[in-house]
Structure 1
Amino acid sequence: MWNLPNLLTLLRILLIPVFVAVFYLDTPWAAYAAAAVFGAAALTDWLDGYLARRWSQTSPLGAFLDPVADKLMVAVALVVAVQADPRVLMALPVMVIIGREIAVSAVREWMAEIGDRAAVAVSKLGKIKTTVQMISIAILILRESVFGPWLYDLGVVLLYVAAILTLWSMMLYLRAAWPSLSGTRQGE
């Protein structure tokens, strides 16, 4: 149960309060350190899944904890990013991304409850969305970078790309789940 992939997932959860504490430090390097903590968490997201598959160490605990860890870290990072830049420009994609995560989690839970979880498995689009989302959040956490304001603007643009991909992937999940949700699946 406590194999390396699961420990990496647990580490990602434990990094959340570290990330928040570092983000709010009143030092010139706080943004860089917070981005590094977030980046480390994002890397563990990729690494734990890779190792679990490679070493055949998938487990029910890992299957449960991994999406929880991802959603917690992303939601917390998005909330602090909006708090640091409380414009509608930032709030809109954040609301879309967090709202989608809640909706898709509910769909997955419902599909698992009726024994059809495979119909809403993570897709390649979901992995692309997650990658764009993680890159955008890391850039936004940096706030004022030594590279100038264009990098932050790129982070905002990538956040909108992530929000669009988020909506697209949500539509694919809902379309896959619709026969079960609507009671029109063959044999019902």
Structure 2
Amino acid sequence: MRQNLPTWLTLLRIALLPVIVVVFYLDAHWARPLSCFLFILAGITDWLDGYLARLWKVESRFGAFLDPVADKLMVACVLILIVEFDHSPWLTIPAIVIIGREITISALREWMAEMGQRGKVAVGWIGKVKTTAQITALSMLLYLHDLFGLPIYKMGMFALYVATVLTIWSMVGYMKAAFTDAPEEKS
């Protein structure tokens, strides 16, 4: 396994998760904005690691494996924090949909890879838009406070529902791609 800056950025994204959790639970007025900042920083590394890997032609199988794992860990971790904080079905339901989709698509990709069809469920543009929408929504929900008179938390709730719709849309697209002319599984 060859280490390079893009891989280290992905590992940094994973390492930031416990820091975000600790900061989230601190009893200070600045804790939620700081956890939001750290989450945004982690989100930036998501974009930067892929960009640099392609630019420098250092893409690796390990990086291709680790990047979506880091994304899923990041989103699931923050969803759980926010659901635990809010105790609202209006947050719980989208969280279940988003986490359920991530598990389903991960399993689908593994199954398709076993059949030599991994390319049929490669990340597409809608998956990238979905991830951006999730990071945006979760950043707003983490921030919690109003900003310049804008109700950031309420905007984050709306953005979370947009992200949930994109989540379902991308899942349907991956399922269609996987099961259109899917090879028969050998018993």
Q: Work out whether the TM-score is over 0.5.
A: yes
Aligned equivalent of 1:112? 113
1:66-145 mapped onto 2 (5 Å cutoff): 66-145=67-146
- Distance in structure 2 (CA, Å) of the matches to 1:115 and 1:143: 45
How many equivalent pairs are there? 184
Relative to structure 1, the CA distance from residue 92 to residue 148 in structure 2 (aligned partners, 3 Å threshold; closer, same or farther) is: farther
- Distance in structure 2 (CA, Å) of the matches to 1:35 and 1:177: 36
TM value normalised by structure 2: 0.94
Moved more, 128-137 or 148-157: 148-157
The letter for the 2-side match of 1:36 is F
How far 1:147 moved relative to its partner? 3.7
- Distance in structure 1 (CA, Å) of the matches to 2:172 and 2:152: 30
| Residue 22 (structure 2) pairs with residue 21 (structure 1) | yes
TM value normalised by structure 1: 0.94
Matched residues, percent identical? 52
The letter for the 2-side match of 1:137 is L
Aligned equivalent of 1:154? 155
Relative to structure 1, the CA distance from residue 87 to residue 148 in structure 2 (aligned partners, 3 Å threshold; closer, same or farther) is: farther
How far 1:143 moved relative to its partner? 1.2
Aligned equivalent of 2:171? 170
The letter for the 2-side match of 1:27 is A
How far 1:179 moved relative to its partner? 3.7
Structure 2 runs not aligned, ≥5 long: none
- Distance in structure 2 (CA, Å) of the matches to 1:33 and 1:157: 22
Give the RMSD, CA atoms, in angstroms: 1.4
CA contact (8 A) 2:145 2:151 kept: no
Aligned equivalent of 1:30? 31
SS of residue paired to 2:69? helix
- Distance in structure 2 (CA, Å) of the matches to 1:19 and 1:150: 22
- Distance in structure 2 (CA, Å) of the matches to 1:106 and 1:6: 23
Deviations 1:92-119 (A, max 9, x none): 1111000000000000011111111000
Structure 1 runs not aligned, ≥5 long: none
Aligned equivalent of 1:60? 61
